[in-house]
Structure 1
Amino acid sequence: MAQVEDVPMSRQEFSVAYDGPTRADDHSIDVRNLAPALMAFGKLLREANTEFNGKKSTTKVLVVSDFEHKCFNINFKLVVGLYEQAKLLLGIDQVKTAKEVLECIGLLKGPLAGGGVVAAGGISFIKYLQWRKGRDVIEEKTDTSRSGTVKVTIKGDGNSVYLTPEIYNLSKNARALRATQDAFLPLGQDGFDTMRVSNEAGAIAEEFTPKEVTDIAASCAKGIEESKEVNEPEIEEIPAWLSV
């Protein structure tokens, strides 16, 4: 069995800034809002990586806090361990890098389509939640002519969208939906009303306004309700060595 240090790693840095017009030079944030948000990013990224790369792929989210003018900024580094190097080298099972995981979630924009859109299957996880606005889904149908993407239809105009199977499954994952809710928890508190995500070069990749966050939160609540999943303690598997 490969040792931990032999596992190939994919790394991607990004930052999240909570901001608002009334923040002025106040660089503080209530720990009761910050702590759940930090934990939420870790949970969301782990759930997404498991969906895209399988349970054998490990995930580590590192964070270093930073303070900037008129906002509270957090620097993250996502580290994805690709358990079987052959999959990465040969392209088997479409292994996704840390950057691609962030693009599929909707925290970074993909190179093939702007606005958080995932070209191969429609829109990203967060963009789907924003688009749905908590509305009822009337039909979900797998389209075999589009590499198994799922066509989701809701009531109203412009009422259909395509999702990759992984993003569709993530949208049904109550743990991922709860984590998404908590990631936006500081907004609406203490003058924070906007969340910006920047790439490792410092360029803004995504910005979420109060209206967009309201739509995302409504879809999270609806999805959690639909899942009917019992809120059980989260159990994380970690490797261990036993010597006798």
Structure 2
Amino acid sequence: MSTEHFRITYDGPALDTHEMDVRDLAPALLSLADACDAASQALFGPKSKMVVNVKASFKTGSFGVDLTLTSGVLQSTIDWFAGKDGQGLANATAVLLGLGAFGGGAIAALKWLRGRKIHRIDIHGNKRILITEDEDQLEIEEYTLILLQHREFREKLEKALDPLNCDGIETIALGRDESVDVTVSKKERGYFVTPPATDEILFSEERTQAFSIANLAFQEGNKWRLYDGQATVFVSIEDTEFLLRVNSDKESFAKSDVLICRVRVTQWQTDAGVKTDYAVLKVLEHKTHATQLKLPTV
């Protein structure tokens, strides 16, 4: 089991008495611990874990906390970070915390981006070149990019900086031992807001499908509730000719009527899981429920 020490320091007029509201400090430290854990799992896999423990407090005209990072990561993984200087966990800590090593780390990269979108990423061995829309460039390591793309790490890091939202707290500094590796100021707080999730299309296909009608929606834009034989689904009707017949009372509906439709089914990956959308492109046939028995013809 390996350990590495680092320090987080809060500074500003509100801390002149060397005191800090525990309701601001505790959630921020918990989020910092969660960010380290999320980073460890993003880089090393779900079985790895980083534990952050409070070691001691100090007072130097601001308010700071000494923390100990304990790694349960396999030694072979630590060695991957060792590089020429053999720093092992110290280098891993720099990446996990986004400190100054390895081309700047996650925090330094986010400070450099200043909220700008990445236009493209060029790959050169283990190096990644971030290129913004205004053609500004930054070279980072592969594992720093992994953290920039990892939603849970970004969300926890954002919350760890919440004390900057408080009046009188102007900066948060992170560093190992007595050094300061990176500082985030109040005006830079917005650079660390996690981008909203974008839904990803898993697949989209068109097919012919039969539905019985569960509930009609005559107001424009509302979805119909249709039953596909297994479940009731919400369906948008994009067949304008069919809707025109409905609105002009040329289509009437009875219980157990069936619509044979050309349907587009799209499945999305969202933060909440898989979402499925149904859209009727064309109503091919409206089968009314039979009111008489079918008998053999004479």
TM-score by length of 2: 0.58
Match of 2:29 among 38, 45, 59: 38
Q: What is aligned with 1:13?
A: 5
CA–CA distance in structure 1, aligned partners of residues 94 and 36 of structure 2? 11
Which blocks of at least 5 consecutive residues in structure 2 are unaligned?
83-87, 201-269, 274-298
Question: Aligned pair in 2 of structure 1 residues 207, 72: CA closer, same or farther (>3 Å)?
Answer: same
Give 3-state SS (helix, strand or coil) of 1:187's partner: helix
% identical equivalent positions? 20
Match of 2:93 among 73, 94, 102: 102
Which blocks of at least 5 consecutive residues in structure 1 are unaligned?
1-8, 111-117, 233-244
Contact 2:99–2:108 (CA<8 Å) still a contact in 1?
Answer: no
CA–CA distance in structure 2, aligned partners of residues 95 and 53 of structure 1? 11
Q: What is aligned with 1:59?
A: 50
Amino acid paired to 1:164: E
Q: CA RMSD in A?
A: 2.7
Shift of residue 178, structure 1, vs aligned partner: 0.8
Contact 2:3–2:68 (CA<8 Å) still a contact in 1?
Answer: yes
Shift of residue 30, structure 1, vs aligned partner: 4.3
Question: Aligned pair in 2 of structure 1 residues 95, 28: CA closer, same or farther (>3 Å)?
Answer: closer
Deviations 1:166-225 (A, max 9, x none): 22121111111111111111113141111122322x23333222233333x2xx332x44
Larger Rg belongs to? 2
Amino acid paired to 1:191: G
Amino acid paired to 2:104: I
Q: What is aligned with 1:206?
A: 182
Contact 1:108–1:199 (CA<8 Å) still a contact in 2?
Answer: no
Match of 1:166 among 117, 124, 143: 143
The structure in which a higher percent of residues are strand is 2
CA–CA distance in structure 2, aligned partners of residues 208 and 55 of structure 1? 29
Contact 1:198–1:205 (CA<8 Å) still a contact in 2?
Answer: yes
TM-score by length of 1: 0.70
CA–CA distance in structure 2, aligned partners of residues 43 and 77 of structure 1? 14
Shift of residue 69, structure 1, vs aligned partner: 4.4
CA–CA distance in structure 2, aligned partners of residues 156 and 162 of structure 1? 16
CA–CA distance in structure 2, aligned partners of residues 152 and 188 of structure 1? 29
